[in-house]
Amino acid sequence: IPSFIHHMERYTFAMPYAYKRDTLDVGCKEGFGSHLLSYGANSIGLADIHQKYLDFATNYFKFFCPASFYQCDLEKSFPDGSWDTMVAFEVIEHVADPDFLVKNIAEHLKPNGVLVFSVPHMVANHEHKTLFDEEIIRKLISKYLTIEELYVQEFSAISRKPLYKNLKCYVGVARKK
């Protein structure tokens, strides 16, 4: 529950960027955040490697805009199509070649499209294939997109208590060049 709250804060942050826009949630897992984004999005796409997550989202949620589901391995491919906004929360660090993923995101964003992203600061675990500090994430994203905003999420937005296990995340907004 504690880390779930911080994910929901990020999706709440992303909602204005998805408003009346075609939006793709990259690495959506069960689709909780996609569901939130669907309240204002023009359309919502959910992409994940695991079909079980997409099935859960399909069966559990009523999306408030047209929804599409894409089962794909983001380390090898990317959903066909183009979007105004993409959200990639806690996914970039999970791929072996983050450059491949961010390049694909940039290529599938419409002109003036926006990426809203987050990565944890230097969290080593068995699921993270790449570790990020501020310099590394800035360099990666800036290779393909223009960073407009970059924040550090260290505290809960309402309580101002430290994040779960004192986690620190970079949360940013980047626009297609």
pLDDT in tens, 58-115: 999 999 999 999 999 999 999 999 999 999 999 999 999 999 999 999 999 999 999 9
Of 72, 117, 77, 73, which is closest to residue 93 (Cα–Cα)? 117
131 φ, ψ to 5°?
A: -105, 145
pLDDT of residue 43: 98
Whole-angstrom distance, CA of residue 150 vs CA of residue 14: 13
Q: State the pTM of this model.
A: 0.94
Q: What is the mean pLDDT of the chain?
A: 94
The two three-digit tokens of residue 32, written as one number: 């909780």
Handedness of CA 99, 104, 105, 109 (dihedral sign): positive
From residue 15, give the alpha-carbon distance in Å to each of 22, 125, 167, 168. 12, 29, 23, 21
